[in-house]
Structure 1
């Protein structure tokens, strides 16, 4: 790539000969990105040298981005080792987290240290299923009942159609929901190690063709928002989406005092009044302190779909002072993660997954994504413990001040 190539391509856009999105048809992806930066820098009088300083081949990102100009770099750190006794995850883990929030990793790592000294966290994926819910139009509620009955009796037929589009996904169930002359069908898939949103969408489209052929229903939209993707939704809190995963730990009372500078009773009270009562009063769907902090930082570092942090914040934290220690748990109802596809193939994200030990497809299929969900849940538990301790000991603001944040 030469400077003259970049300038010439940019001039063709400025002259109206090409549009920004057409540049890859006339030049290599790195040249196209540089031409866009050149145009943008001139039109906005901005220095884009940092945006253009990236290590991966732009051609490798073509399935992840359009109109590429460069890359956004976010500082990445690591917490650990975090011992996890999971259904899929096992042993010590170093969890990469990417964030611009100072003090976050220091706080999470304090929780990790506490969990490690207590013998580690236990974690389990309790349910797995990626959903897509198209909406159909019918004449009246009588037809709605007819369609719902047909779907319940022919899930196997819909499975044949849906699974013909993928070599990995499996249709688990289809649940009809009726609102007047609208029929929603909530399809749930086992997508193995992929997060699976695209897989579920393509498979559901094939199944919808069968529904339209065999019933009086007419498809209105392939997504009817009852899925529900990238929006706060009670159905995901109740039914789950992606992985429903829980992690817990029992910490001796003396370790709570030594490592978290507070007491078990104080943490219990803070959790009850803040996470439970306060969240209920606010009408929140998530009953936790800041689970989204760890979920978002892990998603950035590990190549997950950032918008699905919305569902990942759908978590409940429970704390109980037992005779032998402080019991704490986090249950995330709808954690949508994968170790193949999407952003997991990008270089830094792939390296981060390698650090964690769960890159690519697992054996058996789905085990790597299960393990990833379990480690993220354990990391969220560490974050909950540390923040609750800081709040109950009134150290939150001083911790930020000490770290210059």
Structure 2
């Protein structure tokens, strides 16, 4: 087995490329060789990056040209009681972040949820999407293609599902723009986030469409999916999992724990999260849902770029007839999974263990639903805490007290 320095020498001599090192040594030696080369070129000390506890081979499906690992501090909020359709009981919420005061804020929100008897959460819609773009000769052919798709969904499902043991095609929706036709395929991907599954399955279905119609496939993704970009279609139709968490908090709990009133929280939510967001043209009508989504994504091995869609949430707050505070957070497009991708990495798998949702669920899909419910509950806690901090005018002082 060559040493890291010997491998690095071969790269310097142009005998090997960086991505070829695993063919000549194990993954850890290959990573060490790359660290040497990068440190030499950048005049940087990468010693800490090279200190990781898992075998580099475990990360081979998740990263290329590995040099080490970046460690993000992990905190927990809770425990908080979750009454979910898939997840029930007391749970600590794992949050990986470098933003000071975030975990403290979510933790405060969790304590208030707990004082109110816990939060309820439900997944209301499920479906990972992929939307290929087809070119036709014009509107007549475009309309014919849309009609063919509507009449042949069973054949498209058979083609798509031939590529997977778990995914199910639930529907295909055509969108026509002149001589462009976008077909939004939606799949039930069970406990997998399912983006790769949906892409491969849709590719097989597209071959059938080209064989049976005069349309030509231009791109397997036509951006109507919509993946990793802000999009109104995800806010309206959902993508991944649409999930809501809510709570009713007694008036005295709001006053004693949050040092504000139900009326103040409801007014701030309306003027800030609803009117302010509308004036800004925002696709997210919330205070900072992205904070919790990002932190729990990192902690549990999700695709962090999909925080873009995960922040697509609406927070509501109103005072009930008897003076209590009702708050909800509805996330339209939360793309999560508990199998595949980064969920197999050791620390991220342990993050899923904290929630009790690692691996495949029974029935299939339950664990990913449970993860979505936990994230929505964390987002609810974070929204409640921040709105209350604004209501009591403690936001800046809270950051100052924690030295941020």
- How far apart are residue 392 of structure 1 and its match? 1.2
Query: Quick one: which of 170, 186, 189 aligns to 1:191?
Result: 189
Aligned counterparts, 1:1-400, within 5 A: 5-324=3-322, 325-400=324-399
Distance 1:382 1:359 in 2: 23
Distance 2:321 2:180 in 1: 53
Where 1:255 maps in the other structure, the secondary structure is helix
Looking at structure 2, the residues matched to 221 and 133 of structure 1 have their Cα atoms a distance apart, in angstroms, of 9
**1:45-76 CA distances to partner (integer Å, 9 max, x unpaired)?**
11101100001111111000000000010000
Structure 2: gaps of 5 or more residues: none
1:205-242 deviations in Å (ceiling 9; x for gaps): 00000000111110000000000000000000000000
Shift of 1:25: 1.1
Give the RMSD, CA atoms, in angstroms.
0.7
* Number of residue-to-residue matches in the alignment: 403
Cα distance per residue 1:315-349 (max 9 Å; x no partner): 00000011331000000000000000010000000
Name the CA distance, whole Å, in 1 between partners of 2:244 and 2:281.
22
TM-score by length of 1: 0.99
- What are the superposed Cα offsets for residues 13-55 of structure 1, whole Å, 9 maximum, x if unpaired? 1111111111111111101000000011111111101100001
> Structure 2: how far apart are the matches of 1:17 and 1:87?
57
| Structure 1 consecutive aligned stretches of length 4 or more whose deviation exceeds 6 Å | none
Distance in structure 2 (CA, Å) of the matches to 1:237 and 1:355: 29
Deviation, structure 1 residue 105: 0.3
Cα separation, 2, equivalents of 1:86 and 1:6: 50
* Deviations, residues 242-271 of structure 1 (Å, cap 9, x unaligned): 000001000000100111111111111110
State the Cα distance separating 1:91 from its structure 2 match.
0.6
Structure 1: where are the runs of 5+ without partners? Answer: none
> Deviation per CA, 1:268-311, whole angstroms, max 9, x where unpaired?
11101100000000000000000000000000000000000000
Cα distance in 2 for residues equivalent to 1:117 and 1:254: 10
Structure 2 CA distance for aligned equivalents of residues 14 and 260 of structure 1: 61
